[in-house]
Amino acid sequence: MSIFLQILKITGLVLLVIAGIIFLLVFILLFTPVKYRIKGSYHDKKLYFKGRIFLFLHLLGLYINAEESGFDMYLRILGIKKQLSGDNLQKTEDTIKDTGSKYSVKDPSAEHELQMLSIQEDSPHCKTDLSSDTQENDRDEQPPEKGWSAIWKKQKLRFKRLLDFFKKLRHMLTHIRNISKDFIEFINDEENRAAFRKLKDSLFSLFKKISPRKSSLDLKYSAGTPDITGELLGVLALFPVGYKYHWNIIPDFVAENAYAEADFDIRGHLYGIQILVLFLGIVLDKNCQKLYNNIMTMK
């Protein structure tokens, strides 16, 4: 009896430890921020940027590098690097192709068949056979009928094709009319409109939460002429995001050629609990549930 109780105690402790680990992982996923950073520059018509997405205090990260030499993307999990795409992955694929071509063996039977086909094509007997076949085909083909009967048949065939085309066009237009009618009814339904408003509000809320917390921009540009350069400066001044993050924009009215040089840095973060709250708000909404059911049952 004591052994049985001891086994139950050990299994209970193991299950408790597993549940604690799962709870800790869920807590970290929900309340640890997912940080991102995009940093780059544009000089001499060449774009260079680095993208980083970090999770679990940089223990898990996605790295993206775009340079003049090429594109590189890899994962880093607990310091272990996993190449996803880029120069290193391409080099490994090239080595595999080279080794495969080096040790490939040609099939002698296939070469023999190709040689036999080439010999048969070059032989005069094949040419005479081909010419005789074409002559027999020409004999079998009879000349088309002449006179009013042939003209009447052609016109009748053209008229039939025209009627078939108009029938198909009428069927397509009626089908489009029915679809547009059903679509208008679907859009004008009050419950569907409420579901669309819910989705729109959730999407805007998600964009607001994903929006960068910090950003910097150093831009120097010229459009080639002073008037167009000033107009571009006026267009850029319409966006309040530049005033919010104190962007440094310098127009060059003296340059004779158009150019642009920029250095930018964008940072932000997002919590998993925010995505979970938005997702549950959409899933538990009755109008969104009815909208989903209508879309799934729609023909």
d(CA 176, CA 257): 52
Domain end point (choices 54, 71, 92):
92
* 52 in any annotated domain: yes
Domains held by the chain: number:
2
- For 52-105, write each residue's pLDDT tens digit: 988 877 778 889 998 877 888 888 888 788 888 765 555 444 444 444 444 344
148, two tokens: 């009013």
Distances (CA, A) of 178 to 147, 188, 292: 48, 15, 21
Domain boundary among 63, 92, 121: 92
The more confidently predicted of residues 214 and 126 is 214
Residue 140 within a domain: no
- Supply the DSSP symbol for 143: P
Q: Is 84 helix (H, G, I), strand (E, B) or coil?
A: strand
Question: What was the pLDDT predicted at 86?
Answer: 66
In a domain, 103, yes or no: no
pLDDT exceeds cutoff 50 at 136: no
Print the domain residue range for 55. 32-92
Q: Three-class SS of residue 96?
A: helix
Per-residue pLDDT of 13-48, as tens digits, reads 999 999 999 998 888 888 888 889 999 999 888 888
Residues belonging to the chain: 299
Residue 212 lies in a domain: yes
Domain boundary among 72, 92, 112: 92
Q: What is d(CA 54, CA 75) in angstroms, rounded to the nearest whole number?
A: 10
pLDDT digits (tens, 9 = 90+) for 235-289: 988 888 888 888 999 999 998 899 999 999 999 998 889 889 999 999 999 989 8
Residue 200 lies in a domain: yes
Q: What percent of the chain has pLDDT over 70?
A: 78
Inside any domain, residue 12 = no
Closest C-alpha to 56, from 24, 33, 81, 82: 33
**How many Å apart are CA 292 and CA 299, to the nearest integer?**
13
Look at residue 26 and tell me if it is in a domain. no
What is the pLDDT of the chain when averaged over all its residues? 79
